[in-house]
Amino acid sequence: MICRMCGFEFDENQLENRGCTSCGKHDNCHQVHCPNCGFGNHPEFEEEFEFIKKLKDKFRKRKSAD
């Protein structure tokens, strides 16, 4: 996983307690906290963010071609 806040790449499967620092939501928490900056990343949003990145790239290419 790549942290959307700082860009640090890490393996979320190797983090103890998904990187949480005991916020109390362990039962319903789907966040994976970056070991570098502590930002809570949502793995289920990865596909959506990838789509948004591709869409933004298309707009940039289109704008630069004009």
pLDDT band (50, 70, 90) for residue 9: very high
Q: What is the 3-state secondary structure (H, E, C) of the chain?
A: CECCCCCCECCHHHCHHHHCCCCCCCCCCCCEECCCCCCEECHHHHHHHHHHHHHHHHHHHHHHHC
Residue 25 lies in a domain: yes
pLDDT given at position 10: 92
Residue 5 lies in a domain: no
Residue 6 lies in a domain: no
pLDDT given at position 16: 78
Per-residue pLDDT of 13-62, as tens digits, reads 888 776 665 666 656 677 888 999 988 888 777 777 778 888 888 988 88
Print the domain residue range for 29: 12-65
pTM, two decimals, is 0.58
pLDDT given at position 27: 61
**Domain total of the chain:** 1
